[in-house]
Amino acid sequence: MSCDLDAIFAALADPTRRAILTMLLEDDMAVTDVAEPFAMSLAAISKHLAILTRARLIAQEKRGRVKWCKLDPDAMRAASVWMQGFGQFEPVNLDAFEAFLERELGQDQG
C-alpha cells in the first residue's frame, strides 16, 4: 500500500500530470489530443503518461492505430482514504492559540 501511495503522490507532484488528469476527467483522449495543449514533445508527454500509468491513475489502450488514455476513477481511493485520516483533527484556530500563548507567557513574566 505504501508503495502505491508513493507512486500516486509522486505522479501528482508534477503540474503537467495533474493537468492531464484534469483533462481526462472529461473523457478518454487520444495521446495526441492529450499532448496538444502542452508546449512539449510527444515523447515528453509519453513519459508523463507512463508515470501516470505506473501509478495506476490512468490506463492506456490501443484502439486501431491510436493509443487512448482513460482515467481510472478508483485510482486515487487509497490516497484519498489516507488523506481523510488527517481530517480527524480540528483546524488550528491561530487567534485562540495566540491568545493562549499571550496568557501563558504573560503569567510567567508577572
Question: What predicted TM-score, i.e. pTM, was given to this entire model?
Answer: 0.75
What number of other Cβ atoms are within 10 A of residue 93's Cβ?
Answer: 10
Q: pLDDT digits over 43-101, tens only? A: 999 999 999 999 999 999 999 999 999 999 788 888 888 888 777 666 667 778 778 77
Gap between the Cα atoms of 10 and 21, Å rounded: 14
Q: What confidence score (pLDDT) does residue 56 get?
A: 94
Structural domain spans, the chain:
2-109
CATH number of this structure's domain 2-109: 1.10.10.10
Gap between the Cα atoms of 34 and 79, Å rounded: 24
Q: What is the mean pLDDT of residues 30-44?
A: 96
